[in-house]
Structure 1
Amino acid sequence: MSILQTIVTNTKANLIEKKAQLPLEQIKLSLEDLSLPKGKFKDNILNKDEAIIAEIKKASPSAGVIDEDFNPVKKALEYEAFGASALSILTEENFFMGSVDYLKKVKAITSLPILRKDFMIDEYQVYESKLIGADCILLIASILSDQQIEDFIYIAKKLDLDYLIEVHDENELKRVEHFDDALIGVNNRNLKTFEVDLNNSVRLRNLFKQKNIFIAESGIKTREDMNYLKQNNIKVFLIGESLMRGSF
């Protein structure tokens, strides 16, 4: 079993407990009462010469613990001062040491829109994302069927959430290229082998003929990497580990 499959299996198990503690119907009722505003994630990265989505994460399966003194609020303020256009916050608990509480705390102190970075496999998580303050959700094509992607996008639109569809290869890109409103992200890290290839974004960008916002994810470590991607018509970058370590 790959690490990705292991994470998905673990997520399914955790969802059983979550649903018992806070049923979906209760979340829906809360959302009706709150009338939360539309997220501005897409608006904040649209039509910019370059836009950085700065990621907040304590750990990852490939890197282990990234920040021993992890403070998501402090990091968010640093990113905002640094000029980030948006934030990405890991909420997966077991493999990335994330938490929905991190997202809630950051939402309370920043004006930057937030992508909830997690492994979405159930409609429950889409509604939960809106309730905790996310502006955008992540849909990973490799762990979702075409029907699931359709269903989750339908809910996201109903909740005024933006959505980023993550792909890894040409086949996944073809599966989702008809979603005109989607943000398209290319993960340069192979989630089965963990190998990183920056040219994965460039290759898929050259194949992609639609007008969606196109985002390079993973493996961006230097300004030179960004410049290389910009030369290949990619202007939005999701950067995590190098920013977390302060090495960018």
Structure 2
Amino acid sequence: MATVLDEIIVGVRADLEERRREVPLQAMRERAAVAVRSSPARDAHAALAGGRLDDHGIRIISEVKRSSPSKGALADIASPAELARRYEAGGASAVSVLTERHRFGGSLQDLDAVRAAVDIPVLRKDFTVDEYMIHEARAHGADLILLIVAALDDSQLAEYLALTHELGMNALVEAHTVEEIERAVAVGSRIVGVNVRNLKTLDVDPRNYAALAPNLPAGVVRVAESGVQGPEQVADYARDGADAVLVGEALVRHGDPSQAIRDFRAASLTVRG
């Protein structure tokens, strides 16, 4: 039986083929090469790394997210650029932009708008299933891409991670199980996210982070994904050793996302000192 992830990837591949017909792979490679020379990627690894927490607390990856498969429409985001600026003003370390259109309502236009609006690293949040999407991300100014272990075999994971680094970007390598963490580490991932959402059922259990985090080796940036409703969940993730937390729904639905980020980071200080 197809999982939600399988269904999403079907749509991702269909959209990819449309874009590839408009801009062939070689042309996209050339666009990415121009971007590498003219505007090198920002260092997302340094921006998210633990061990250098300032007086404001844990790193926050704030997400521009219009909708989700589990909740449907989340927010009417008239200006992704303005939302991203509010995230940056609140102390976000990076901005994640959903570019998958069918289930998340995102677009590359949203990515372009956010890239032009902020100086912090930007994550192109999509389901990377082809080399083309990595060149495309760099061509559109992304500093960081998403690689989901469950969606890739070991060869693809290693190949895509290497290409990401060649283009000067970093990858958030997402795992959901101990075995996926091991696969992520085996290919040399420097930023590993533990997503507490079950990709088969879309159920969320924040306790999964505490159960899986001990399997992350020293030296990788640890990112907790999903499950944040308020400062208490951020504090829990910080207590369990997360260097950064990715937050979407709780921010796009908050009336003051800048203050929400400040509150999240302050909550982490209560457990990290």
In the alignment, residue 78 of structure 1 is paired with which amino acid? Answer: R
Structure 1: 5+ residue runs without aligned partners? none
| CA drift at 1:91 | 0.3
> Which of 126, 129, 135 is equivalent to 1:118?
126
> Which of 141, 158, 161 is equivalent to 1:153?
161
Q: Spell out, residue by residue over 1:197-233, the C-alpha distance to the aligned partner (whole angstroms, 9 max, x if none).
A: 1111111112223320000000011111111121111
- Using CA pairs below 8 Å that are at least 6 residues apart, which structure has the higher relative contact order? 2
State the partner residue of 2:15: 14
In the alignment, residue 156 of structure 1 is paired with which amino acid? Answer: T
State the partner residue of 2:42: 39
* SS of equivalent residue, structure 2 residue 246: strand
Q: Spell out, residue by residue over 1:149-179, the C-alpha distance to the aligned partner (whole angstroms, 9 max, x if none).
A: 0110111111001011000111111111234
Contact persistence 2:124–2:137 (CA under 8 A) = yes
| CA drift at 1:65 | 0.6
Percent identity of paired positions between Structure 1 and Structure 2 = 33
> Which of 60, 64, 72 is equivalent to 1:56?
64
* SS of equivalent residue, structure 1 residue 127: helix
Structure 2: 5+ residue runs without aligned partners? 261-273
Change in CA separation of 1:181 and 1:39 when aligned onto 2, cut-off 3 Å = farther
In the alignment, residue 28 of structure 1 is paired with which amino acid? Answer: R
State the partner residue of 1:100: 108
**More deviation in 226-235 or 129-138?**
226-235
In the alignment, residue 16 of structure 2 is paired with which amino acid? Answer: L
Give every structure 1 segment of 4 or more consecutive aligned residues whose post-TM-superposition deviation is greater than 6 Å. none
State the partner residue of 1:164: 172
Aligned length: 248
Please report the RMSD computed on the Cα atoms of aligned residues, expressed in angstroms: 1.4
* SS of equivalent residue, structure 2 residue 117: coil
Change in CA separation of 1:64 and 1:159 when aligned onto 2, cut-off 3 Å = same
> Which of 134, 139, 144 is equivalent to 1:136?
144
Contact persistence 1:89–1:116 (CA under 8 A) = yes
2:104 & 2:25 partners in 1: Cα distance? 24
Structure number with higher helix proportion:
2
In the alignment, residue 236 of structure 2 is paired with which amino acid? Answer: Y
Contact persistence 2:147–2:172 (CA under 8 A) = yes
- TM-score, scaled relative to structure 1: 0.95
2:22 & 2:235 partners in 1: Cα distance? 47
- TM-score, scaled relative to structure 2: 0.87
1:214 & 1:69 partners in 2: Cα distance? 29
Please state if 1:5 is matched with 2:6: yes
**More deviation in 135-144 or 70-79?**
70-79
State the partner residue of 1:175: 183
